[in-house]
Structure formats: structure tokens, C-alpha cells
């Protein structure tokens, strides 16, 4: 039998929950800080890595927003994204749906267009080099006002041809999805797909709201759905994809240990669970490491790993023909694994 790692790497996979700012590795952060003369509140890479000892979502976000200061010109965003895309390609990722946080950058005087230009250039380059397809998702920071999100939506709409969807991230508790009802309504009317972080630290009621008030197509994280049996049945019935991020959940204390993660239970309850890396530079692993972490800790079968890969394609914003092609390729890969 070949290794589980070789099998998981070979499975064609989509990554649906990835914050591009969360792929900023310490080495690149220090290099860009030097390039732009930005002072980081850490002496060196080792001291920075030592600060990655998070207790909850907010303790992570504080470091994540501080480090984003080094991203200043379009080349920075290009380099950031291309490094991630190269790595994802080496791990068998065939399609990416990438989040970015426009307000983190526009608040510092970096133009929306600068961010999008760099990211888009990298995505096109990855398509040319690796045949990797993509969708770009602009996330609103939920700790800021709905009025601020509305202004950001205007900029999203001005770049409508390269942005496929809008999402909602940052500090969850106290900032329910309903705060952004009007923004999401306009986004949907304008033909954008919608997603939202819900049920990471926030209660199951936020997942209900994201579905009922924001009419999102999938839920980012969503792991706290398990506290609401009716919601579990609904997610299974409607096959709403959950973009689960196992290593992130452990790093931010959503689950104390990976062995306690509920991914396998959600999967076995028939929910459309996917595996994702969230902010891999901060949480100790990219997509492959997330798959392998749950495979080892929870004892997933080869078929369950294939289901996770299928769910990532089914839950993506790819068109039906592309989905069919990747699903057939996953079936082929799973068959070959069983024949070993």
C-alpha cells in the first residue's frame, strides 16, 4: 500500500477557506518589513513564531492584523499569493477560493485596486503554470460597521469581473450576521455569491442567521452546529458545505485537542464537510497537513478522505462541467487506492 500522504496528495482537492493574509510566513513578513521600512513589534523570526501561542480567535487576529502592515504594493500581494499557490499545487490542490480582507488594507492607505491587482496577477499566473482555477472572495470585517462594509461593497462592485463572492470574517461574538443584512442583499442582487464565517466561536444561532438572513451558499467553520440537532438535520438536508479548518480550530481553542474534533461526526451525520487551512502560516499546516492531521487523529478511511475531496468540489463555485470532471478524477483516484 502506498502512503496515506501520497493518496491524500494525489486526490484532486479544492481549498475553500483560505485567508491570503494568513499565508504570510514570518520570513516573508520580515523581508517585506525591511523593503518598506516598516518596524515590526518582534525582534526576529523566532520571536514572532513564539507569539503564535494563541488562546482564542481575538489573540490570533491581533497578530494577523499587525503583520498585514508589511503588505504595501501590488508586488507584495503577488508574491504572497504566488507562494501560497505554488505550495497548494504541490499538495494536489486544483482549485482555490481565496479570501482577502480589503478593509485591513484600505484603512492603511493601500488602495483596493492595488490589492486586487497583485492577487489577480498571481491567480492568473497559477492558472497558466499549474492549470489551477480560482475564485476571489472579498470579506467584510464584522467588527467594523455595516456602513463601512457598504463602502467596501462599492469597491468590490467596481472590480466585479474578478471578484466572485463576498464573505464575512474577523471577531465573531457580538457581531451577528444580521448586522450585514443590507450589504449582503445588495451583493446578491448584483450577482455575487455569498459566504460567511459562523459557528466558529459564535453560537449555532449565527449559522441560522447566515442562512436565513444573508442567504449564504456555504458556512465557513460552522463546527458549533453540533449543539443544535435541528440545525444539523437542516445542513445535511440542504447539503450546505461547511468549510472546516481543523488545525485552526485547535490553535484557537475551539477544540482543545485534534482528537476531540467533531469533523468525523459531522461527516458521518451526512453534512457536506470540507477540510481547509484557514491561515496556514499561523496554524502549523497547509491543506495536506490538515487532511493528515484529521486522518491520523480521527481514523478516517480512504473513502472518507475521498468524500472530503468530493465535498470540496461540490461545495465550490465551479461550474457543473468542471465539477463533473474533478469528481470523476477523484473517483478514479479512490478506485486506484482500493486496488493497492
Closest distance to ligand HPA from the beta carbon of 17 (Å): 8
List 76, 278, 295, 337, residue binding Zn ion (CB under 5 A): 278
117 is catalytic: no
Q: Which CB atom, from 20 or from 307, has the smaller least distance to ligand HPA? A: 20
Q: Which CB atom, from 197 or from 310, has the smaller least distance to ligand HPA? A: 197
Q: Which does 57 bind (CB under 5 to 8 A by kind): ligand HPA, Zn ion, none?
A: ligand HPA
69 touches ligand HPA (CB under 6 A): no
List 57, 267, 273, 334, residue binding ligand HPA (CB under 6 A): 57
Of the residues 200, 201, 209, 295, only one is catalytic, namely: 200
- Residue 140 neighbours by CB distance under 10 Å: 28
Closest distance to Zn ion from the beta carbon of 325 (Å): 28
Q: Which CB atom, from 40 or from 139, has the smaller least distance to ligand HPA? A: 139
Stretch that binds Zn ion, among 265-273, 274-282, 288-296, 325-333 (CB under 5 A): 274-282
278 touches ligand HPA (CB under 6 A): yes
Active-site positions? 200
Q: Which residues bind ligand HPA (CB under 6 A)?
A: 19, 22, 57, 169-170, 197, 200, 248, 278-279
Amino acid at each position: 500500500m502506498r502512503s496515506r500522504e501520497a493518496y491524500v496528495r494525489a486526490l484532486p482537492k479544492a481549498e475553500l477557506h483560505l485567508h491570503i493574509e494568513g499565508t504570510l510566513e514570518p520570513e516573508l513578513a520580515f523581508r517585506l518589513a525591511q523593503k518598506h521600512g516598516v518596524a515590526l513589534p518582534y525582534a526576529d523570526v523566532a520571536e514572532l513564531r513564539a507569539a503564535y501561542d494563541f488562546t482564542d480567535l481575538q489573540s490570533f487576529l491581533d497578530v494577523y492584523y499587525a503583520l498585514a502592515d508589511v503588505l504595501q504594493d501590488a508586488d507584495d500581494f503577488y508574491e504572497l499569493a504566488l507562494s501560497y499557490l505554488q505550495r497548494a499545487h504541490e499538495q494536489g490542490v486544483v482549485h482555490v477560493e481565496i479570501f482577502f480582507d480589503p478593509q485591513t488594507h484600505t484603512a492603511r492607505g493601500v488602495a483596493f485596486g492595488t490589492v486586487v491587482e497583485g492577487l489577480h496577477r498571481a491567480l492568473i499566473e497559477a492558472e497558466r503554470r499549474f492549470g489551477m482555477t480560482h475564485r476571489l472572495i472579498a470579506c467584510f470585517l464584522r467588527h467594523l460597521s455595516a456602513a463601512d462594509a457598504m463602502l467596501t461593497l462599492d469597491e468590490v462592485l467596481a472590480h466585479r469581473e474578478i471578484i466572485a463572492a463576498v464573505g464575512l470574517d474577523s471577531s465573531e461574538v457580538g457581531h451577528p450576521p444580521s448586522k450585514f443584512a443590507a450589504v449582503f442583499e445588495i451583493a446578491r442582487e448584483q450577482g455575487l455569491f455569498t459566504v460567511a464565517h459562523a459557528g466558529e466561536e459564535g453560537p449555532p444561532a449565527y449559522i441560522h442567521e447566515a442562512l436565513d438572513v444573508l442567504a449564504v451558499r456555504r458556512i465557513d467553520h460552522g463546527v458549533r452546529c453540533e449543539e443544535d440537532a435541528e440545525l444539523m438535520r437542516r445542513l445535511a438536508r440542504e447539503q450546505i458545505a461547511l468549510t472546516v479548518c481543523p488545525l485552526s480550530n485547535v490553535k484557537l481553542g475551539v477544540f482543545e485537542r485534534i482528537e476531540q474534533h467533531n469533523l468525523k461526526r459531522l461527516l458521518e451525520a451526512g453534512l457536506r464537510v470540507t477540510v481547509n487551512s484557514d491561515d496556514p502560516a499561523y496554524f502549523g499546516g497547509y491543506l495536506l497537513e490538515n487532511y493528515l492531521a484529521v486522518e491520523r487523529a480521527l481514523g478516517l478511511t480512504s473513502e472518507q478522505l475521498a468524500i472530503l475531496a468530493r465535498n470540496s468540489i461540490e461545495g465550490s463555485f465551479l461550474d457543473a462541467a468542471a465539477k463533473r470532471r474533478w469528481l470523476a478524477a477523484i473517483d478514479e483516484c479512490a478506485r486506484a487506492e482500493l486496488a493497492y
